Amino acid sequence: EQGLRGSQHQVADLQNAGETGQVLSMLNMDMIGYSGDADLDCLLETNPPYADLLDVYADAAARYTTLRIVTSLNAFGSDHVPFLNAGMPALLTIENDWDSYPDYHRGTDVAANVDLQMGFQTLRMNVAALAGLMGLDEPAVFADGFEP
């Protein structure tokens, strides 16, 4: 990872095109497939103006997953921050134990170290939350055998 160059560039493009107001919500999924222990705990992070996003995602987690949710209103260090700094709603979903991952930002961060259940549960929460934010019927998202 080379800093937040990609997200900073995308924000600049949106600003230059006058399209920042069209961003309903930016979702940053970082390290969603790691768990440092058996506790599938997901950190949801944004800044105070967008605290309502914490409720949307926590509600989706409670409804559709077994995740334990931890929240923070002190966004830092990941690709959601440039969006927040530019006044766009943004939220980070990340494994709460991210800072204990021994392969963090190393060449040893490979698929063999992925916790499939953590990734699955986080994706499930994110899909349900995004569907709700778009006004879709959340239960329909998990039809055909994907119900909780």
Task: For the chain, give the longest Cα–Cα distance.
Answer: 45
Domain that holds residue 63: 5-100+111-141
- Region 93-107 average pLDDT: 84
Residue 106 in any domain: the answer is no
Q: For 26-83, what is each residue's pLDDT tens digit?
A: 999 988 988 888 899 999 999 999 999 999 999 999 999 999 999 999 999 899 999 9
Looking from the CA of 48 toward its CB, the CA atoms found within 13 Å total 0
Give the predicted TM-score (pTM) of the model. Answer: 0.88
Average model confidence (pLDDT) across the chain? 89
| Strand partners of residue 72 | 45
Is the pLDDT at 147 greater than 80, yes or no? no
How many domains does the chain fold into? Answer: 1
Q: Residue 95 sits in a domain of what CATH number?
A: 3.40.630.10
Within-domain flag for 128: yes
**Does 43 map to a domain?**
yes
Is 137 a domain residue? Answer: yes
Which of 92, 88, 100, 49 is CA-nearest to residue 71? 92
**Distance of CA 40 to CAs 13, 24, 94, 98, 102, Å?**
36, 28, 11, 12, 17
